[in-house]
Amino acid sequence: MVQKYEITVCLPSFSTFGAPFLKAYMQIIEQARALSAALKNLKNPFNLGFVPTMGNLHQGHISLVENSVKHNDYTVVSIYVNKRQFNDINDFNAYPKTLASDIKLLEKFDNLILYVPESEKELFPPDFDKIVLDLGEIDKNLEGAYRPGHFKGVIEVVHQLFSQVKPSNAYFGLKDFQQVAVVKKLAEKYFTDLTIIAVETSRENSGLALSSRNERLSENDKKLAAEISKSLKIIAENFSHKNNDVVIEEQHRLKKLGFEIDYLCVANESTLVPTTKFQENTKQRVFAAIMLSGVRLIDNMPIKA
Ligand code: AMP
């Protein structure tokens, strides 16, 4: 039987000699030089979408890819577990690597290049210079406060990936709302022709935000973890001038259920500075970083004005 989708592993020697981009074939590229050669072979003019990931793909990642494929002529998806953004080496070591099943999930897309840098030096050559970026308040609270060095690592890898891929549009998930804000600042300074597109969070039917980390939860814990999105929804729908206690109430409720809370708070969407006050005519969001059985889960929702 002839398979509709086949995978071509684009080795450096192959791409150096000008491998044509074959529609309905996915190229898998492991080296920066090969990526550059493959991009040069795309039929001009084109829009290029980019979806950076750390792999262990799920429907949340795929929703970003679907968006990109819909609105661009070609899409690059990258899979790279970036050690620099992990403040906990155990967390890095435990990060699931599932390339074979990731490839299976991507096979159905046409005009897609999968970039899987084979080593750190593909992204960070010896002359890599540190990135200077003033983020103001944006990286000071929430994840920035609880994961020292995390956003520095994110900025470094995303800068290098954007420089190599040179996309027209790059897709990021709103589940990592603070990351979207940081990446937008990076693009404003270094990649002015690039549009950053934020995609809604994909959830289980229970409301639990899809995450690679969910796999580390037992079935019981997974059911319990849905209480996080329930709390966010309660706060999003009820936080007001008259009712800012709802945040404390939900903190207590989750603690009683056995969760450990890094933060569950409302913050201004633009500055990401937490507040206990409802602010009229200001976009506010409720953010959570919560541990369950040693697994740290994050999520957020907009406050309904
Ligand atoms: P990661 O592989 O965890 O670095 O995530 C890669 C991209 O997928 C990031 O832009 C994430 O925000 C996004 N993402 C992760 N989980 C979800 C989700 N449940 N819904 C939408 N986007 C997501």
Q: What is the 3-state secondary structure (H, E, C) of 73-87?
A: CEEEEEECCCHHHCC
Confidence at residue 23, expressed as pLDDT on a 0 to 100 scale: 44
Instruction: Please return the burial class of 220, using the count of CB atoms within 10 Å of its CB with bins 0-12, 13-18 and 19+.
Output: exposed
3-class secondary structure, 116 = coil
Nearest residue (by CA) to ligand 1, atom 14, is: 173
Q: Which atom belonging to ligand 1 lies closest to the Cα atom of 201?
A: 20
Q: What is the CA radius of gyration of the chain?
A: 20
Confidence at residue 305, expressed as pLDDT on a 0 to 100 scale: 75
Which of 51, 176, 179 most suits a substitution to test ligand 1, by most atoms within 8 Å of the C-beta? 176
Query: Is residue 279 very low, low, confident or very high in pLDDT (cuts 50, 70, 90)?
Result: very high
Q: Which atom belonging to ligand 1 lies closest to the Cα atom of 211?
A: 16
> With 80 as the cut, is the pLDDT of residue 18 above it?
no
CA atoms within 13 A on the CB side of 281: 0
Confidence at residue 45, expressed as pLDDT on a 0 to 100 scale: 82
In this structure, the number of other CB atoms found within 10 A of the CB of residue 127 comes to 5
| Ligand 1 pocket list (CB less than 6 A) | 53-54, 60-61, 63-64, 172-173, 175-176, 199, 201-202, 209-212
Nearest residue (by CA) to ligand 1, atom 13, is: 173
Confidence at residue 226, expressed as pLDDT on a 0 to 100 scale: 98
- Give distance in angstroms: CA of 59 to centre of ligand 1: 9
pLDDT digits (tens, 9 = 90+) for 231-260: 999 999 999 999 889 999 999 999 999 999
Q: Which atom belonging to ligand 1 lies closest to the Cα atom of 202?
A: 20
pLDDT digits (tens, 9 = 90+) for 91-100: 899 899 999 9
Query: Is residue 133 very low, low, confident or very high in pLDDT (cuts 50, 70, 90)?
Result: very high
Q: Are strands 48-53 and 74-79 parallel, antiparallel or unpaired?
A: parallel
The two structure tokens encoding residue 169 = 């549009």
For the chain, give the mean pLDDT. 92
| Catalytic-role residue among 61, 150, 241, 252 | 61
Which of 53, 65, 92, 298 most suits a substitution to test ligand 1, by most atoms within 8 Å of the C-beta? 53
Nearest residue (by CA) to ligand 1, atom 22, is: 173
Contact 259, 271 (CB under 8 A): no
> With 50 as the cut, is the pLDDT of residue 6 above it?
no
d(CA 117, CA 115): 6
Q: Which atom belonging to ligand 1 lies closest to the Cα atom of 203?
A: 19
List Cα–Cα distances, 163 to 25, 76, 113, 129, 158, in angstroms: 24, 13, 16, 13, 8
**In degrees, to the nearest 5, what angle opens at C-alpha 137 toward C-alphas 212 and 142?**
35
Find the helix packing angle between 32-40 and 150-165, rounded to 10°: 40
Q: What is the mean pLDDT of residues 116-120?
A: 97
- Give distance in angstroms: CA of 303 to centre of ligand 1: 21
Q: Which atom belonging to ligand 1 lies closest to the Cα atom of 175?
A: 12
Contact 157, 122 (CB under 8 A): no
Nearest residue (by CA) to ligand 1, atom 5, is: 53
3-class secondary structure, 278 = coil
d(CA 294, CA 54): 20
- Give distance in angstroms: CA of 172 to centre of ligand 1: 7
Confidence at residue 244, expressed as pLDDT on a 0 to 100 scale: 85
Active site residue 58: no
3-class secondary structure, 210 = coil
Confidence at residue 26, expressed as pLDDT on a 0 to 100 scale: 87
> With 70 as the cut, is the pLDDT of residue 192 above it?
yes
> With 90 as the cut, is the pLDDT of residue 157 above it?
yes
d(CA 33, CA 196): 25
Lowest pLDDT segment from 140-144, 157-161, 214-218: 214-218
Which of 50, 54, 61 most suits a substitution to test ligand 1, by most atoms within 8 Å of the C-beta? 61
Query: Is residue 24 very low, low, confident or very high in pLDDT (cuts 50, 70, 90)?
Result: low
Closest CA to 286 of 297, 296, 274: 274
The two structure tokens encoding residue 8 = 């071509």
CA atoms within 13 A on the CB side of 280: 2
- Give distance in angstroms: CA of 174 to centre of ligand 1: 8
In this prediction the pTM is 0.92
CA atoms within 13 A on the CB side of 104: 6
pLDDT digits (tens, 9 = 90+) for 31-85: 999 999 999 999 888 899 999 999 999 999 999 999 999 999 999 999 999 999 9
